[in-house]
Chains A and B, each alone.
Chain A
Amino acid sequence: MAHFDPNARPFSHQWLNDRLAVDTLKRVLSTEYWIPKNINFLWAMGMVLAATFGVLLISGIFLLMYYIPDTKQAFDSVNYTIMSEVGYGWLWRHMHGVAASVVFLIIYIHMFTGIYYGSYKRGRELIWLSGMLLFVSFSAEAFSGYMLPWGQMSYWAGMVITNLFSLGSLDFQGLVEWIRGDYVPGQAFLGRFFMLHVLLMPLIIMALIVLHFGTLRLPHVNNKDGEEIDFEAEAEKWKAGKRKEAKVIPFNPVFLSKDTFVLGVYFIFYFYLVFYHFEFAMDPVNFDPADPLKTPPHIYPEWYFLWSYEILRPFPKDPGLIAFGFAQVIFFLLPFLDRSPNVAPANRRGIFKFWFWILLVDMIVLTVMGKVPPIGIYTTIGTVAAWVFIILWVLLPFITKAEKPVRGHK
């Protein structure tokens, strides 16, 4: 039984400490949560993502007060009620739409930072895996949210994506209808995607964010050189006042001060987009109301899904689906496909250096090809890029197995 000081006044420091261990919590989670000193602004992307998720949550709550999940009213509740009748409704909507797009940019930067610096290895596998689960959950959240304005692109993207569940020649029409709750996207479809978007997916995302932070606590974050740091010994140096010699800094306030600065820069960029350049995040096609009788000439997903869409598209139906499935799961396997013990920046890792930069460029090529119509030269480029993607991942275990130890590492 813990000791409770009978003289402590309710809600005084001592009183709270006895009941909630606030001093220990503060120490473990902030003032003695050690971060390597050898990092750059890319290490602030986690905080940027958390802040963007906060923006999405708050703006989403305001939008939820006026949005009507009814196929006859959804479009006007978004485009008329929120945009012109609700005070600052336009601001919440543009903030929500832009943040939904920008959050994926930051996720991709965050992922590629992890790949570049090898931050998924040697005790950090669960950080990577929980992060990938977050990526998948954010994708589901983005897709379900895209259905809600019930515009042309909502409707037809919903049609195309749910059709994937017929699994090609297996022709599981029953499964597709079960998912839609109807033969075609309709009221049942909108209702369930609304539920997913405003309740189930946010719950899952919040749980996964906690898990993601949890997986980070014991292995600590990586650093620019992939150096294995003895965090306890370095922390002692810091506590002894050797601020210069110590290789670590406390999360609060030292790391946080830099995070806050990076957040500031990020928010300038973000609000510039919200006020002056939001069109990229709000596709014009979706400002036409859903019309089941009229297929839009070009159906394409939002930009962050384009690379995997393009892996699906150039192949015949069944191989395309297999390639698409491959693209969805392959990033999960990264910690196990990378057979090299080196934790170092890609540029110091021999052939892996080329693997990294080719993967990045290839995914950008896939992204662009996923948007342009599949005609002529674009089909060829898209097919080649899709094959390059697959081959890169098949080669990964072999090139990393053959990798020489990086100097200075065991």
Chain B
Amino acid sequence: MKELKVLAVVVFFTLVTYWGVEPYAHSVMHKHVEFKNFKYEDLKPIAAKGDAAKGQALAAACAGCHSIKAAKMPAPMDPVTASATYGVNPPDLSLAGALLDEKYLAHFLKDPTHTAMVAHKFKNKPYPMPPMATDDQSAADLVAYFKSIAPKEVTAKEAYEFACGRCHEMRYAKWTQIGEEPKTKPNIQTKMDEEKLKFQEKLAQYKDHLVKYLGKLPPDLSIIVRARSEDFLKTFVEDPQAQLPGTAMPRVGVNKEGYEKVFQYLEEVGDPSKPKREAVGPWVIGYFILFTFLAYLWYKSQWKGLK
């Protein structure tokens, strides 16, 4: 049929244009970084077998700066004071064994700046995290301990808070670097919300410390899944320096499952309509297929005997 040929020409030029301005142009604009599946192959495997009991004894030293809620050890300082001291609030270690790659964690305990790839930021000042393991054995013991206390199930939100949430705000989920925004109410007479103002003051101080520590305020991640491609996010988290040389973003060292959890949370907050789209889409398209079928019958009946 002649009309189908005309349609084929239109579709052809449309697709060529689409290919040129989308996949092709983006492949030229964005650096290609190979995804390595969170294997951290630049780090040597640790042969030593860890002993959780020995690790527990060593972990007492960690509690000087970190909270370990799973072992009922509270934080020595509140987040703002901690950030004044260290630049950033040190993480609670309860989830470290579940979300971080084992090999990464062992190397991080031995040589934090190198493993987190932040040596370039700490040439003239000390990194707040000192090496905590002197050899492979003590590193393996600590890793075994953290694995033993880690919960079996970690939620997507917990994974985000642990891995990203002390530097990155997520205002669409009411998350700040010092925790969730408290639910407060303004005074009905004065219309002023004192509790909220106090919280904001703390947050402002924390952000000040963070900017001093990192050089700039890390971006809010509310809709980062729409602003960056899936491929960029995973290769960036896996190896920040490969995507953005010189960035202050450390290599966090999440394992594959840990990253998937984090991404799940980013998607839940940043693209909340995804499940709704998937539910409504087939109905709308089905409706138009039916519409088109009926319109076709009408068209055929009207054009019958015209040619």
Contacts and interface: CB of A to CB of B under 8 A. Distances in A.
A280 interface: yes
A267 B288 contact: yes
B280 interface: yes
Contact of A272 (B171, B227, B285, B298): B285
A257 B273 contact: no
A373 B25 CA distance: 8
Contacts of B281: 271, 275-276
Interface in B265-297: 272-273, 276-278, 280-281, 284-285, 288-289, 291-293, 295-296
Given A268-B289, A276-B281, A284-B229, A40 B6 contact: yes
Contacts of A76: 171-172
Nearest to A258: B299
A318 interface: no
Interface residues of A, number: 51
Contact of B295 (A105, A109, A257): A257
A275 B277 contact: yes
Nearest to B22: A280
Interface string B153-192: 0000000000000000001100000000000000000000
A214 interface: no
A367 B306 CA distance: 41
A80 B3 contact: no
A364 B305 contact: no
A90 B226 contact: no
Contacts of B292: 261, 264-265, 267-268
Contacts of B284: 271, 274-275
Contacts, number: 134
B223 interface: yes
Contact of A258 (B229, B272, B303): B303
A45 B17 CA distance: 19
A122 B226 CA distance: 50
Contacts of A233: none
Q: Name the prevailing secondary structure of the B interface residues.
A: helix
Majority SS of interface residues in chain A?
A: helix
Contact of A263 (B10, B28, B29, B295): B295
A105 B14 contact: yes
Interface string A263-306: 11101100110111000101011011000000001100001001
Interface string B19-36: 011101100110000000
Contacts of A46: none
B21 to A, nearest CB: 5
A41 B7 contact: yes
By size class, the interface of chain B is: 35 or more
A129 interface: no
A361 B198 CA distance: 62
B303 A284 contact: no
Nearest to B2: A40
B307 interface: yes
A367 to B, nearest CB: 6
Contact of A261 (B17, B29, B296, B305): B296
Contact of B227 (A94, A268, A280, A288): A288
B295 A268 contact: no
B77 to A, nearest CB: 32
Contacts of A90: 272-273, 276-277
Interface in B225-250: 226-229
A49 B173 CA distance: 39
B302 interface: yes
Interface string B214-226: 0000010011101
Interface in A363-405: 364, 367-368, 371-373, 378
A243 B272 CA distance: 55
A43 to B, nearest CB: 11
A79 B119 CA distance: 37
Interface of A: 37, 40-42, 76, 79-80, 83-84, 90-91, 94, 105, 109, 243-244, 249, 253-254, 257-258, 260-261, 263-265, 267-268, 271-272, 274-276, 280, 282, 284-285, 287-288, 297-298, 303, 306, 360, 364, 367-368, 371-373, 378
Given A42-B10, A287-B226, 6 more contacts: A94-B277, A260-B298, A264-B288, A264-B295, A268-B288, A367-B21
Interface of B: 2-3, 6-7, 10, 13-14, 16-18, 20-22, 24-25, 28-29, 171-172, 219, 222-224, 226-229, 272-273, 276-278, 280-281, 284-285, 288-289, 291-293, 295-296, 298-299, 301-303, 305-307
24 contacts: A40-B6, A80-B172, A83-B273, A84-B273, A90-B277, A91-B273, A91-B276, A254-B302, A257-B295, A257-B299, A257-B302, A258-B299, A263-B295, A264-B291, A267-B291, A272-B285, A275-B280, A275-B284, A284-B229, A285-B227, A287-B226, A368-B20, A368-B24, A371-B20
